[in-house]
Amino acid sequence: MTYNTSKSKALFERATRVMIEGGSSPSRGPANYGDYPLFIDHARGSRIWDADGNEYIDWMMAYGALPLGHAHPRVVAAVAEAAAGGTLFAAATEIEIEVAELLQRLIPGAERVRFANTGTEAAMAAIRLARGYTGRPKFIKFEGHYHGWYDDFLVNAHPQPIASLGHRRDPIRIPDSSGLNRQALDDTIVVPWNDLAAVERAIDTHRGQIAAIITEAVMANIGVIPPEPDYLRQVRELARAHGILFVLDETVTGFRIAPGGCQQFYGLDPDISTFGKALGCGFPVAAFVGRAEIMEALAWGGVLHYGTQNSSRVGLYAARASLQVLTEDGAAAFRHLWKIGEQLGAGLRAVFAETGTPAIVQQVGPMLQIMFTDRPAIRDYREFCAHVDRDAYRRLARRLFGAGIYMSPSAALHSVASLAHTDEDVRCTVDAVRKALRHGD
């Protein structure tokens, strides 16, 4: 039967008459999907169905926001219970305490918790808190790390021609958007990742002015690029030696790698860490947590963080249900996530070897991405920009749609295993990739 997406096409034409690029985020539109995106109608478990009725194995899982898969029955029941009692009070609720206590038990550095709505907002608040607590204006941000669309962060976060980046000892700061405040990046120091000497130089150049070093635990918006062994701990020690706060952005990695995030997995003790995506299990719930002494700077609005939607009642019911599922039976869910992720990664590597395809799989357990490259590994943003064939990946991802496999068509994103994925999902996906590579365009 011919793969048909005519309803998605018609919906996109309708959408363009009322929304820019036919949607509410560029990642959902033609920039990633070509002529028009797929319009998703419903989902269950590891599967999604589009408006034309096509069924797909979903390896994107809402950019990692769904560690349990789609419509997990315990989350659905929790949401129904919450909504029946009122969706929002903008007042104190017991569910806030319950979820904060859960986070405190799970996350090593969560002495105090503050809820927000998105990862972007949590990262904004974390940097404001670091500046307020230290009385210093500047912070270090790494090339290729995406902390949301806040002006101060929106630099060197998306792939660029390698020639435009400057020398790695003195990176050229490239804003990722028009419309930024002209002074927004004055206090943003950009350095390459996985390069401890670069961090040392930046600290020496701006001695006494740096409030924080913010880093993703795994670079996750430039494919998947893991930290070098012991790198994050060394950055943490360097920050501590200079009175700089170490901010770990776990918006992507939180509740996907380990119950306590990458800080548990890598043995870190950040001063502040941020969470989003998987925390809300499909709802806009985020949090920033940290040492009590630092978080206390929020008291009485000393470092201001307001929000009518903070600690959404329905979202926190979903978060509580999700965290309970993820951590019961000795956190068995994470063992499943790792098993499925590693099976998929191994299967893809075997297909690349079998077909002679110049591609690798970069991976941290349940998080993985295919990179078309002759290199054995990609270790930072510059290597990604210079040595990864993003068009080859995009062509593969679009071919896989027709085989019922849904991966993000952007090479700068990644796939993720969920509790709902099965061994059969892995087998079907590996077979589809094999056929796609053999038959080409």
Active-site residue set: 146, 249, 277
Q: What share of the chain is helix, strand, coil (3-state, %, to 5)?
A: 45, 15, 40
Residue 309's identity, in one-letter code, is Q
3-state secondary structure of 35: coil
- What phi-psi label fits residue 191: left (phi over 0), alpha (psi between -120 and 50 degrees) or beta? beta
How many other CB atoms are found less than 10 A from the CB of residue 25? Answer: 11
Find the distance separating the first CA and the last CA of the chain, reported in whole Å. Answer: 19
Token pair recorded at residue 425: 């999902």
Helix (H, G, I), strand (E, B) or coil at 343: helix
Is 389 exposed, middle or buried, given 0-12, 13-18 or 19+ CB atoms closer than 10 A? middle
Contacts of 321 (CB under 8 A, 6+ apart): 72, 74, 75, 77, 78, 281
